[in-house]
Amino acid sequence: MNFDYNEEQQLLADSLRRYLQAQYSFEQRKKLLDGGPEVWAKFAEMGLLALPLSPDYGGFGGGAVDLMAIMEAFGEALVVEPYLATVMASRLVARAGSAAQKSTVLPAVAEGRLKMAFAHLESGARYDLAAVKCAATKSGDHWIIEGEKKSVQLAPRLVVSARTSKGVALFLADAPKATPRRALDGFAEADLVFSGVKAEALEGGLAEIEETVDFATALICAEAVGAMKFSCDTTLEYLKTRKQFGVPIGTFQALQHRIVDMYIAHEQAKSMACLACSKIDTAENAKDRARAISAAKIKIADAARHVSHEAVQLHGGMGMSEEMKVSHAFRRLAVLARQFGDADHHLARFASL
């Protein structure tokens, strides 16, 4: 038993934090929202993009625990780069791609030359990973995809899920042209229409999707922990400095108990993120893995709501203000609480396992 990051994990997270504090402050983030290429290049230089990939393709073979400290740092800084989208899509290529596909895609990802996304979500599917209506039909030596995918982060190359006569399958395709928009939390995304889009097939389907989504769920648990840590820290600071009735508002017991409960919720969430990330790397079977991931996501979804709501409330009117980072942490946590399944969805899954 050991809850420490190892030296490499800690050093990487520390240098990432230093970089984010210097170059990705809240003010700089506002300007960077339109995707300055220098951030991605820096991620590549630090090895973040290579970290989860196999050494055979220029990666470092890291697991979820290796990514955990990075995701926490991203959460604290509210990073809106398509990092997780790229990790998910490249993980699917690594698990379901041919040798040729892997050697085309993965080194480019590792070196920061290729951003990717996993185009999966469809209208009405909610959190049902099998609810895929997009269709893929064989045409000579390639496939044609027809259908729509929602809220896909902006990236030139995609892994797309689509239905064939054999069920849900995975494909590699270029992203069709689309009109980008900002999601609730500031990520750049678009709804995509696939109309006669040429694609190449990967050798995988629903099982690979479920595994990758569980992996990604563990990572966003860690990211949410980071965003909650920021929310707790900044609220504590506010309670110590904001004065009303001639005293810091942190001297009021009604507020003290509420921030203590935020602090406890954050610690409990961190515990469950540790469980989720370590189980993804070590679980003996899919059921074991799914149970831990769902348990973690239930706790993280509840804690994200609780902490973000209280952070805004304890900031008073300032918490509502667009100028304050705490309101952006609120937006990020609102998305993370529901991403890959909200508490209700994971309760149903946890209870059924």
Partner 1 sequence: MDLNYSPEELGFRDEARAWLAANLPRALKEKVERYEHLSKDDLLSWHRILAAKGWVAPAWPKEWGGTGWNVVQRYLFEEELGYAGGPPLIPFGLSMCAPVLLQFGTDAQKKRFLPRIFKGEDFWCQGYSEPGSGSDLASLKTKAVRQGDHYVVNGQKIWTTLAHYADWIFCLVRTDSSDKRQEGISFVLIDMKTPGITIRPLILMDGAHEVNEVFFDDVKVPVENRVHDEGKGWTVAKYLLGYERMNTGRIGASKRELEKVKDFSKNISDIRFRDRLARLEVELMALEITNLRFLDRMRRTGQPPGADVSMLKIKGTEIQQGLTELALDAMDPAANDEFSVALRNRYLSMRKTTIYAGSNEIQRNIISKMTLGL
| Residue among 138, 142, 243, 257 that touches partner 1 (CB under 8 A) | 257
Range 180-209, binding partner 1 (CB under 8 A): none
* Residue listed under structure tokens 């893929």: 136
Q: How far apart are the first and last CA of the chain?
A: 26
Q: Distance between CA atoms of 314 and 262, rounded to whole angstroms?
A: 11
**Distance of alpha carbon 70 from alpha carbon 274, whole angstroms:** 13
Which of 240, 230, 160 lies closest to 200 in space, CA to CA?
160
Q: Which amino acid is at 262?
A: M
In the bound complex, what is the minimum distance in angstroms from residue 351's beta carbon to partner 1? 4
Residues contacting partner 1: total by CB under 8 A: 42
Q: Please name the residue that has the structure tokens 């050697």.
A: 103
Smallest gap, in angstroms, from Cβ of residue 9 to partner 1? Answer: 8
> Facing residues of 144 across strands?
137, 198
Q: Does 283 bind partner 1 (CB under 8 A)?
A: no
Q: Interface with partner 1 includes 25 (CB under 8 A)?
A: no
Q: Find the binder of partner 1 among 50, 170, 295, 314 (CB under 8 A).
A: 295
Considering the complex, what minimum distance in angstroms separates the CB of residue 221 from partner 1? 12
> Counting contacts by CB under 8 A, is residue 287 touching partner 1?
no
CA distance 261 to 331: 20
Q: Are 61 and 54 in contact (CB under 8 A)?
A: yes
Helix (H) or strand (E) segment spanning residue 227: helix 206-241
Residue 321: CB minimum distance to partner 1, A: 24
Closest to partner 1 by CB, 70 vs 274, is: 274
As a whole number of angstroms, the distance between CA 335 and CA 353 comes to 26
Kindly give, in sequence order, each residue whose CB lies less than 8 Å from that of residue 87, ignoring residues fewer than 6 positions away: 52, 67, 216, 219
The residue from 91, 149, 299, 306 that contacts partner 1 (CB under 8 A) is 299
Examine residue 94 and tell whether it contacts partner 1 (CB under 8 A): no
21 binds partner 1 (CB under 8 A): no
Interatomic CA distance for residues 329 and 228, integer angstroms = 8
Stretch that binds partner 1, among 40-48, 118-126, 305-313, 345-353 (CB under 8 A): 345-353
- Out of 5, 19, 60, 127, the only residue in the binding site for partner 1 (CB under 8 A) is 5
* Window 39-78: contact mask with partner 1 (x via CB under 8 A): --------------------------x--x----------
Q: How far is the CB of 75 from partner 1 (least distance, A)?
A: 17
CB of 103 to partner 1, least distance (A): 31
Residue 351 interacts with partner 1 (CB under 8 A): yes or no: yes
Of positions 73, 274, 293, 312, contacts partner 1 by CB under 8 A: 274
| CA 99 to chain CA centroid, nearest Å | 27
CB of 35 to partner 1, least distance (A): 32
Q: Is 144 helix (H, G, I), strand (E, B) or coil?
A: strand
Judged by CB under 8 A, which stretch of 14-22, 23-31, 92-100, 260-268 contacts partner 1? 260-268
12 binds partner 1 (CB under 8 A): no
Half-sphere exposure of 260 (CA within 13 A, CB side): 8
Q: What is the per-residue burial (b if ≥16 Cβ within 10 Å, else e) of 169-196?
A: bbbbbebbeeeeeeeebbbbbbebebee
Judged by the rule CB under 8 A, the positions of this chain that interact with partner 1 are 1-6, 9, 65, 68, 236, 239-240, 250-251, 253, 256-257, 259-261, 263-264, 267-272, 274-275, 277-279, 282, 295, 298-299, 344, 347-348, 350-351
